Structure 1
């Protein structure tokens, strides 16, 4: 049975000034969130999570991807991406992990935005109004520090004890005024001979 979705949320945040200085290029952070019934709720310890993963994860991944694409105007505009789950207090962290750590969930997003990097993630447990943090990284270059970002949001009535909040995150742009360089310079300074795809 597909996931039972109680509500969805689209979070859009635009940073125009950072550190008291106007951003030459504003940063846009976007999160698509679904609040779903935990498919393993009230069943005790479930040994095999795969049937519900197969039933729920593909549809959630597709729906949240479509929300991101509509908000950004297309996959080519997404520069950094990530995913997250917050499980209600009656569930296991493993339940959230089961829904987001599967190719059945993430592949539709990767393919839609043309990504090469892995999807950065968090999976936690908490009460209603728990903080959800979605870490982001450049979709093609894991060493591009300007795109190490975190979307932070809360939903006042979610997750309920027997629910899971599932989210995908995206950025258009990187941190305004980023000035810590990329990890490749550190590697070079430490004597490693590493190619720098960020310089291409």
Structure 2
């Protein structure tokens, strides 16, 4: 089993004060921490069992990124939305990127630290150095998962990563929804349409 080789960690922080020409009532912070690592399966051809390296790398990556991101957000109490992403270099498989973020040893560590209980939205893609990294975010609480104000996408890039034999693994968070959000949410839509989450008429409306 190869060691975890982190070449660099990149922080991305945005603080939005004005949106649509109007000052935000509360400035919104979005932050991401991304680790650039050597792909542990690089040069090995098709590897049948990815689990040993997933376990070794997921723990190390969560230890490197989770406290750092919580710090950028000034604590879990300031996190309302979260998500994750991975980009594998051109010599790797998308399965390599997926393997490092779709494991409880990685995602659950962030969920617990962020004091959330919902599913982490994600992207796992392949590309070359400087590719646009798309990191989706949704509300960290399952009960508020339909809150469209918190349907967000962070976009950033790392000019020299991923190299062909690297993987970028990232976690993201936001302090709130979009400033001046006003498109409602799916719960309001369901109420107006008289349906449940599966799109079926509510009991009192069924003939």
TM range (shorter): over 0.9
Q: Which residue of 1 aligns with 2:164?
A: 161
State the match for 1:197 in structure 2: none
Aligned to 2:200: none
In 1, the alpha carbon distance for the partners of 2:96 and 2:83 equals 18
Asked if 1:181 corresponds to 2:184, the answer is yes
2:151 pairs with 1:148 = yes
TM-score normalised according to structure 1 size: 0.94
Q: Which residue of 1 aligns with 2:7?
A: 6
Rg larger in 1 or in 2?
A: 2
Displacement of 1:110? 0.6
Deviation at 1:2, TM superposition (A): 4.1
Bigger Cα displacement from structure 2, 71-80 vs 162-171: 71-80
For the residues of structure 1 that align with 2:196 and 2:94, how far apart are their CA atoms? 39
| Residue 67, structure 1, aligned to residue 68, structure 2 | yes
Offset of 1:11 from its aligned partner?
0.6
Shift of 1:74: 1.1
SS at match of 1:105: helix
Q: In the TM superposition, what are the counterparts of 1:1-200 in structure 2 within 5 Å? A: 1-140=2-141, 141-193=144-196
Is 2:128–2:161's contact at 8 Å kept on the other side of the alignment?
Answer: yes
* TM-score using structure 2 length: 0.91
After superposition, the C-alpha distances for 1:123-170 in whole angstroms (9 at most, x for unaligned) are 000000001011000000211111111110000000000000000000
CA distance in 2 between partners of 1:169 and 1:106 (Å): 11
Deviation at 1:62, TM superposition (A): 2.2
Unaligned runs of 5+ in 2: 198-207
Contact 1:39 / 1:52 at 8 angstroms: preserved in 2? yes
Mapped contact 2:87–2:162 kept (Cα < 8 A): yes
Partner-residue secondary structure (3-state), 1:99 = helix
Say how many residue pairs are matched.
194
Contact residue 146 and residue 174 of structure 1 kept, 8 A: yes
Q: Please give the secondary structure, in 2, of the residue aligned with 1:91.
A: coil
Judge conservation of contact 2:29–2:73 (CA < 8 Å) in 1: no
Q: Provide the C-alpha distance between the structure 1 equivalents of 2:90 and 2:14, rounded to a whole number of angstroms.
A: 28
Q: Structure 1's 80 and 2: CA in aligned 2 closer, same or farther, altered over 3 A?
A: farther
What is the aligned-residue RMSD (CA, Å)? 1.0
The 8 Å contact of residues 62 and 109 in structure 1, kept in 2 or not, is answered as no
Q: Which runs of 5+ in 1 are unaligned?
A: 195-200
